[in-house]
A and B are shown apart, each in its own frame.
Chain A
């Protein structure tokens, strides 16, 4: 079983739609959780960290459920510029602090 598993893509949505990505992880010792965004084989960039209490950044909301080992990302009012691959990422301090990446979910927002 992969350490981080994400929804299979691609997601094709119209502008203005709400879209949700899900991610599950298998290592209960995981300490930190993130969503990264990657545009067309460019470098990944941090979109937001994910906290147990849930956190919001504009149109983006992230949730963490440690009991179910589940992370989600909700994008409201999708824009064309949101088209990218979204990577679910966790960091385990018992593995030298390395980042463990999901394979990513591709989002395509259409006019």
Chain B
């Protein structure tokens, strides 16, 4: 089954404790992206990657890191989480046909609470 998986689905942590949210897709997609969703603000892009070893900042990259060492994986790293990073996080991927991007598929989401 074609899918995007994220782990963990739910996480409660404390300020300053480093954490990683994993994202994996099995569709051989070139493009992957991380979003956060907050009430009243909608979905906002954190980082994106157009292919292996190619990453770039989105709209709200502060406090986050990413890496793309393999095509299928795109982990999101919070080196020192703070309460304002409490949010619902989505990973997404899509293919690139050379002239256009196709549909973005989203993972099930990770609900993060930072105390």
Chain A residues engaging chain B, CB cutoff 8 angstroms: 31-32, 41-46, 49, 87, 91, 93, 96-99, 101-104
Q: Are A42 and B100 in contact (CB under 8 A)?
A: no
Contact call B42/A43, Cβ cutoff below 8 A: no
Residue of A32, A43, A98, A102 touching B106 (CB-CB under 8 A): A43
Contact (A91, B101) CB under 8 Å given A96-B50, A97-B31: yes
Residue of A nearest to B31 (CB): A97
Q: Kindly state whether residue B74 has any CB partner on chain A within 8 Å.
A: no
Contact B109 A99 (CB under 8 A): no
**Closest B residue, CB atoms, query A49:** B103
- Give the chain B neighbours of A93 by CB distance below 8 A: 101
Contact B101 A43 (CB under 8 A): no
Task: Tell me whether A32 and B90 are in contact in the complex, defined as CB-CB below 8 angstroms, given that A43-B109, A96-B56, A99-B45 are known contacts.
Answer: no
Q: A-B pairs with the 7 shortest C-beta distances?
A: A43-B106, A103-B42, A101-B43, A97-B101, A101-B42, A46-B103, A98-B45
B88 at the A interface (CB under 8 A): yes
Residues in A neighbouring B108, C-beta threshold 8 A:
42-43
Could you say which residues of chain B place their CB within 8 Å of the CB of A49?
A: 103
